[in-house]
Amino acid sequence: MTKPGERRLQILQTLAAMLEDPKGEKVTTAALAAKLDCSEAALYRHFASKAQMFDGLIEFIETSLFGVINQISAEETQGLRQVEHILALLLSFAQRNRGMTRVLTGDALVNENERLQARINQLLDKIEAALKQALRVAATQEQISANADFGGLANVLLCYVIGRWQQYAKSGFTREPAAQWAQQWPMLCIACLSQRNA
């Protein structure tokens, strides 16, 4: 007998797996129920709506990412190293979680409740704020200028990550987000360091 919490998790895992389809077709509750070998009514015993299922996925993404981001902020003393670790985390998370990448890029949320996209936007704002904070730490350590445009720089870094996510999703998951990370971080780092004399 499956426990209620386990069944909810199973539904979310199946939804995430269905979102990994490179063709990116819209996931219906009928198709989800068929995959789980149950009725649509059975799905609604665990989630009031499909939007609530996506809420569950977004919650998982947020908990996963910020669990690690908070750890990075607490354990890594160097500001620029914090930036590097946060960006690497965002790329590797997407690479390991294809279905979640389509949620993060908003692909999977087209024609869904608009509240879900607003929630993803909030999540991205929080990530940008974490990058901005790490850049401020770098400035206190004189790694970059105290007069640097922290907001502008954090936004450039976030746009880089979103661009990598988009390429991954749009390429049918062939262009891996972390593939050129070793070559690209030094380039991004130069952009940060150029703020030394801002």
The DSSP code sequence of 122-182 is HHHHHHHHHHHHHHHHHHHTTSS-TTS-HHHHHHHHHHHHHHHHHHHHHTTS-S-TTTTHH
Q: Which two tokens stand for residue 117?
A: 């996209």
Q: Under a CB-based contact definition with an 8 Å cutoff, are residues 193 and 143 in contact? A: yes
Q: Which domains does the chain show, CATH number per domain? A: 50-197 (1.10.357.10)
Percentage of the chain beyond pLDDT 70 is: 95
Span 63-107, pLDDT tens digits: 999 999 999 999 999 999 999 999 999 999 999 999 999 999 999
pTM of the model: 0.93
pLDDT of 1 higher than 70? no
C-alpha 22/C-alpha 103 separation (Å) is 13
pLDDT single digits (tens) 48-65: 999 999 999 999 999 999
Rg of the chain over Cα atoms, rounded to whole angstroms, equals 19
pLDDT tens by residue, 116-160:
999 999 999 999 999 999 999 999 999 999 999 999 999 999 999
Token code pair at residue 115: 């509240």
| 4 pLDDT tier (thresholds 50, 70, 90) | low
User: What CA–CA distances, in Å, run from 47 to 3, 115, 184?
Assistant: 15, 16, 41
Rounded Cα distance between 169 and 173, Å, is 5
Among residues 145, 150, 113, which one has the least CA distance to residue 131?
Answer: 150
Q: How far apart, in Å, are the Cα atoms of 168 and each of 5, 94, 101, 179?
A: 31, 8, 8, 10
Per-residue model confidence (pLDDT) at position 169: 93
Residue 197: pLDDT band by 50, 70, 90 thresholds?
Answer: low
Q: pLDDT category, 2, cuts 50, 70, 90?
A: low
